[in-house]
Amino acid sequence: MAPRSIATGCVYFAVALLLSSIVLICFSSFSNAINEKGKTAIVVFYNVENLFDTLNDPLTNDDAFTPDGKNGWNTNRYKDKINKISSAIRGIDDLYPTMIGLCEVENKAVLKDLTSSASLKLGNYEIIHFDGPDKRGIDVALLYAKKKFKPSYREAIRINLPDSARSTRDILYVKGRLRNGPELHIFVNHWPSRHGGVKSSEHKRIAAANSLRKQIDSLQTVDPGVHIICMGDFNDYPENNSIAETLGKGKEQTSLPLCNLMKYPSKALRGSYNYRGQWGFLDQIIVSCSLQNSELPNVLDRATAAHYTPEMIYTNKNGEDYPNRTYGGSNYYGGFSDHLPVYTVLAY
């Protein structure tokens, strides 16, 4: 869909990168400082690690997450996970997030349970979700505060993987406008995993990057200043080819570079995922560089540094911090997720 033009200087954005793992973050001073100049929108992404209901869906491979399955997934465990995920999101800021991108959700029913939970129900969230082609039935979704954001278009973008009989998750595209603010183009992603090896699976993530870049190029051809937010679990790091080259730079004459907010994080922000003791950002928020052109100075200096809480992490026998996950294999740990949420704040 072609974006609407936005007059230069009519609206300005400041993008501040913050990582949230992340409950109990002191952020009110930052919000107040920006609100003196204008409005803010908090954008969150969270891989919620297998948010399944307990019902057996005959159309998907969800048997492990049923009461009779190998994981022993039951109502009590499901409700506990809903409460943990919602509390993690709610703890990101004093205000309810404007938009929440999610991946590894089974269906719209679990999203309804999430938005009606005690921690999130006052946020008055609406749901955008399409059933995708993943064999396990896990999808991406977007929650939005209906008083703060009005969507005008939504689409599930199919990714065609080369030389693969297995389908991957769609990219969710949503176009909408912030209340009394500018239009945004949002893409929620969950790219193919590294299963089978990083190099042998790289072509799948490059295919996903090409699909996303094609959409971005079509928007930027019409309006080079269009405001784009790409969020997701990309299963690659900022320096990998799929992110740095294929998505970040593009190959068409109309391609404009994108700004990866996780490329140069604060040294205190180790990452959103820990693989065998190595932290990194598989979960990223990548924006059109138009969102970096700000008239608000030193926004990062006004932010309070995020910090972990004991509930969000656990320490293994070697003393290494990991995200507090729900399962490891079929072993139940009762945690939040094997990923940490990430977020950014837009000021306009």
List the CATH number of the domain containing 338.
3.60.10.10
Residue-level length of the chain: 348
Contact at 8 Å (CB) between 47 and 285?
Answer: no
In this model, does residue 3 exceed pLDDT 90? no
- Report, as an integer, the average pLDDT of 259-265: 79
DSSP string, 273-325: EEETTEEE-SEEEEEEGGGG--SSTTTGGGSPPP---TTTEEE-TTS-EEE--
In-domain check, residue 101: yes
What is the pLDDT averaged over residues 318-339? 91
Domain annotation covers residue 3: no
Q: Which of 43-52, 112-121, 228-237, 293-302 has the lowest mean pLDDT?
A: 293-302
Assigned domain for 13 exists: no
- DSSP label at residue 213: H
Q: What contacts 173, CB < 8 A, 6 or more positions away?
A: 153, 154, 155, 156, 157, 185, 186, 187, 215
The pLDDT, as a whole number, for residue 93 is 73
CB atoms within 10 A of CB 244: 16
For 151-168, b where at least 16 C-beta lie within 10 A, e where not — what string?
beebebbebebeeeeeeb
Q: Which domain holds residue 54?
A: 20-347
Residue 108 belongs to a domain: yes
Lowest mean pLDDT segment, chosen from 26-35, 107-116, 270-279: 26-35
Q: How far apart are the first and last CA of the chain?
A: 24
| More confident position, 223 or 14 | 223
- Range of lowest pLDDT (25-34, 123-132, 200-209, 265-274): 25-34
> How many domains are contained in the chain?
1
**For residue range 266-309, what is the model confidence (pLDDT) as tens digits?**
556 678 899 988 889 999 999 888 887 554 322 232 223 244 56
Give the pTM.
Answer: 0.87
